[in-house]
Structure 1
Amino acid sequence: MKTIAKIFLIAILGVSLLQAAAFEKVAKSRATKVVMSSEKPLTTGNNTINITIADSKFADAAVNIKVFMPAMPGMPYMESTADAKNLGSGKYEANINLSMGGTWQVHIFVTPKTGKKIRVKTSLNI
């Protein structure tokens, strides 16, 4: 019986790890919900961020991402911006540079072909 329980627990753990992203964050605005994820944990330096927009009316929009850290005593303002590559079906990919650890502010700009540009704000910690 113990062997069956161990096999069952290992199988559940294995399946859950296959479905998990190393980083995932949900951000909402009044207009839509955006999911940011990465296959690898976020680190200092270059990172690839996958962006999924929940609302289908933004499936073919232009998406830009800006991450920044405000200036603090002894440290200047830091920023990284990128135009996201459209992968289709509301999925986008962008490369950002997080130059140091800490809390970064994230602004995702979604510009549809028709209608108003929206901004989704969130933050991330590395």
Structure 2
Amino acid sequence: MTTTTGTKPSPFVLAPRHTHVKVQRHSGDSGGFARWYLRTIAPEDLRTLGSDLAGEAGEVLHGTDGGEFSFSFDQKDGVAGFVCTDVRGNPMDITHEGHTRGRVTIPGPGFIAVTCLGPWRLKRL
């Protein structure tokens, strides 16, 4: 399951064994959404996890190897974090210390979804 908030794109990794996507609206008094679309992004079109990366919103990165990284999320509310999958889309456990600043250990090659509503930074240690 993935959750989206706001009007910015919300990238996520879908394992190949999943063949359908269900969109369900969850809203309170703020209304809902007018439209949405889903598109496939080839791994070679994703940014590669390198020594120092920054972004303005959630993003999926292609990691060719693992490692230990420092991170910072510059948002005051909402959920920020990481979701890692191997190259086949299967979940990988990560070691994560801190909420808006800290360290994360990415176990190996795969995809790293950075979930954040604002600017973020990842730097290899």
TM-score norm. by structure 2 comes to: 0.24
TM-score norm. by structure 1 comes to: 0.24
Taking CA–CA contacts closer than 8 Å with sequence separation of 6 or more, which of the two structures ends up with the larger relative contact order? 2
Determine which structure has the larger helix proportion and give its number: 1
Mark the structure with the bigger radius of gyration: 1
Determine which structure has the larger strand proportion and give its number: 1
